[in-house]
Amino acid sequence: MKEFAGKHFLLIVENNSVPFDKRVWREALALKDSGAEVSVIAPIYETDKDKFEIVERVNIFRYNLRFSSGSKIGYIYEYFIAFVKTIFLFNKLLKKGKFDVVHVANPPDIFWPLALYCKILRIKFIFDEHDLTPETLLSRFEISKEKAGIIYEILRLFQTLSYKYSDAIISTNESYRKRAVESISKNKDKVFVVRNGPDTRKFKSVPVNEDLKKGKKYLFAYIGIMAVQDGVDYIVNAANSLIKKKKFDDFIIYLIGSGSDTDRLKKMTADFKLEEYIKFTGRIPDEPALEILSTADICLSPDPFNPLNDSSTMNKVMEFMSLSKPIVSFDLTEAKFSAQDAAMYVKNNNVDAFAEGIMKLIIDKDCRIQMGRAGKKRVDEVLSWQKQIIYLINVYKYVLFKN
């Protein structure tokens, strides 16, 4: 039975395009498969350029947006424009028919006024917290709460208001759920965990392509955003450490993705004369990305310890696990929950420790194989998106039929 036949759900995301945003896209498809009509509002970005298109029976409405290059003023301008254009599209779509649920993904936490608007219209509102926005500020600019001052307090307020006015809150892990429950303890029953594992029906291993190694014996890989808080500079520095300190250079590293820190990372690579060893692919489709990851001997999760990363679930970790790849990671709470025996955890924020972790896995092939098997098993049994769909459906049942 199609649980949501006759219902119309609207998903909104600001910090990524759709279908490129894998979580939002998986949610949209799961809801569509449950019988609902599904629409999405998102910005135009790179390959997702049309202002309107229908993809797999999901209606996608997009708007032009100039993303911040990394400055605080740039983010304020970006979010203001995004809010105005999103509300404009929302009202335009509303004239064609009422939505049953509006589902907003962060960051940023700017759409809580839309939750109030939805209450007036008797539309249910779900807040899907992908990142802890106040902690993102601290991590992105490497500052303390005290130094962040009024900006941090405003972000905490927006986060709290997002919690308060939502009919349900989706957290990606227990650390995030704990934050939400602490803020709205009287309404803790409306906070749900829907994890963010890969859809292993689509994200799965492909044949190895040895040509990608460019004559090197080992291939290491990273996939994801490249902003300061993502720690990709630890990979560049670790590569330099492997060559200069450990006298090991029989490797090539593929960095898949892009972000506000990409130019600095490329300059670091050039300054260290590592162009032979580090390849930047930019944002690429799943097919070539899967070929690189399937060929990789070791996958890298360099997110440094900070208030955001320690509490966050890294999508790439579960993607690596789904492909049976061993991982090197810093010693982060949620990374350890996700990967468990699939990763080697090294001293936080230490370049030499990260490089040493890579060397240990290079030396111990049996350990790599065991880690890969453990990771694949955990994804298949617990973390895959197929296992999470039921929790997403339960959130919608709660707001539609129980709340």
**147 vs 99: which has the higher pLDDT:** 99
pLDDT > 70: what percent of the chain?
100
Q: What is the pLDDT, as a whole number, of residue 359?
A: 97
Per-residue pLDDT band for 221 (boundaries 50, 70, 90) equals: very high
pLDDT-wise least confident of 133-142, 287-296, 377-386: 133-142
Phi, psi (5° rounding) for residue 280? -95, 120
> How do residues 247-267 score in pLDDT, each as one tens digit?
999 999 999 999 889 999 999
What is residue 186's predicted lDDT score, i.e. its pLDDT? 81
Residue 396 — φ and ψ, nearest 5°? -70, -35
Statement: 8-197+385-402 belongs to CATH 3.40.50.2000: yes
- Rounded to an integer, the average pLDDT of 343-367 is 97
CATH superfamily of 210-383: Glycogen Phosphorylase B; (3.40.50.2000)
Q: What is the structure's pLDDT at 403?
A: 62
- Domain ranges for the chain: 8-197+385-402, 210-383
Q: What average pLDDT does this structure show over 151-173?
A: 96
Residues above pLDDT 90, as percent of the chain? 86
Q: How confident is the model at residue 142 (pLDDT cuts 50, 70, 90)?
A: confident
**Domains 8-197+385-402 and 210-383 are alike in CATH topology:** yes
* pLDDT at 1 > cutoff 70: no
Compute the mean pLDDT over every residue in the chain, rounded to the nearest whole number. Answer: 95
Around Cβ 5, how many Cβ atoms within 10 Å? 10
Render pLDDT for 117-139 as a digit per residue (tens, 0 to 9). Answer: 999 999 999 999 999 999 988 88
**Mean per-residue pLDDT, 77-86:** 96
